[in-house]
Structure 1
């Protein structure tokens, strides 16, 4: 038994030496193949991975996540449903994955109705533990013109995270937030990009802050400095004259998707890129639009033709364009006092020149107090708005 055991051990030792010798050979044909390399970032497939995550929101709909407008609707793949948050202050939407993912794009789908509930400002974060967060993308002054429409955002990211957060800090102009869908996309570095391009510049003077957002592809806007100058020159005058409690923080957004001239909504003023490119000297458009911020405190039923007429009156009185590419229209027998814009503004100017020099200021104060504009005409001038217009028609020179 002892001899037999020694013989087997000798054979085993001989075989071991043979294997060792083969493994150390310099013969290329005898070298063992290298193991496959670990998968790299470029091997990560481009995928919508929102459904693979556990969803958490900082505030849900009053009916809960599975309610008709609960947070579950945000990732149900149906653009006819939506997630709605009431009494909005901010909302965090977190995606938690079982394994780390390389996200470099997300897609937001607008809700079915009121665009004031759309997100305006937000940040997008990644985290490896759900505690420490890294900012990956930031958007300011966004607005969306179409309902139930997908808007895709891209950024560059070379880190894999298990947690991602969409943190919405401000909506367009309401006390509610809504979104139909939110999707996340894995994206290898070779496909990553930073789109859409937005340029944001914030300027503070005294208690006023102007956030200037350029959503166009043009980096330098010839009229940007002029718009800022008109704002900081004339808006303090409007505040002092008409409403010291009006907004002090305003967004100017240059938007290539808007085909009008400009409009005011909430604390946002949107300027058409196409219009401003055609009319770069029209800086006093700022006066008209910021007057609407003054009027945000009006009470009761104030017709739009009157607010627009008062805004054009403010432009005429406080504007600083020199030379001014804009002017009030000449009187025409076809005009009516509710013709709005320059037509109404001219009527207001005539009243101040011929009847009561502080009429517009006192009208503004009355509207802030909720006085009906028709009653104010009688209280201030002793005649109805129609009767005063009839006088104006007889002698329309200003």
Structure 2
């Protein structure tokens, strides 16, 4: 998932030659980098660079400076159904709580499966109003309605209802919901089912399951010392001159306090190609991005990798995956945190962490 040697230094003009340390010593470990902090860790990586940063990153569109092989391809067209549900969610997020309650009552009085998508979307947006009792109860009622429609995909509603049951200490009911998933669920669903199921299972049934992988990344009641913890290292060499130059550019931008440019470029990277690079290089790139506050692509990239390689989870990776500053923002009901990242965090943790059950608004 995560990262050729590059341009020869002899080809660079004297003014563009990096200040590289010829013998940088032992590779920097992720745990050490996170512990020492952004300034010394980024300086350590810079001392190992032999690649040159890209010129022109101060242009109107710095992404156009990057070689085509680094830039993301045009995203696939969103399905009609997904787009329709997104429209419902955007609409409901602008409604006052009382207006959402009235619509919930209307939907349930004369429910028909033609309104299943709207019903599920409204159930989702009630989460913004948690922990209001009415918000929780109506969200549950709406998700139950969705389950009555055999023609509509119920997976997300099943997850929500299982979580509601666990909150009420009704594990048999939660397992009943989880048992309704197909034997071979869609890709990405397995980890979520295993995570939620493990919260109701005894030790004997989860010994062979890795609760630190995939959606179990936040499970805190398992002792990580019982598992072999891999050591993650950071490398500035990817085997591709262009990717090495991109890392050099990120380091230069970070040291110039141009984090906004890093945020922008991080949205333009071809992550399919990025995930084919050596993991140590990916780790270096993601660490610099995290230090610069570009947390959403870090979260998405690491989460995908760890769901496919749960044996690679380590405490340091969890620290990179879920920066403390985001939990602080959630607890403080911040309206300035990245809404997609906040939503992802809340979805995984809201049922199990009292602090995250605050009225965190992804607005």
- TM-score normalised according to structure 2 size: 0.24
Of the two, which has the highest radius of gyration? 1
Task: Choose between structure 1 and 2 for higher RCO, CA contacts under 8 A separated by at least 6 residues.
Answer: 2
- TM-score normalised according to structure 1 size: 0.22
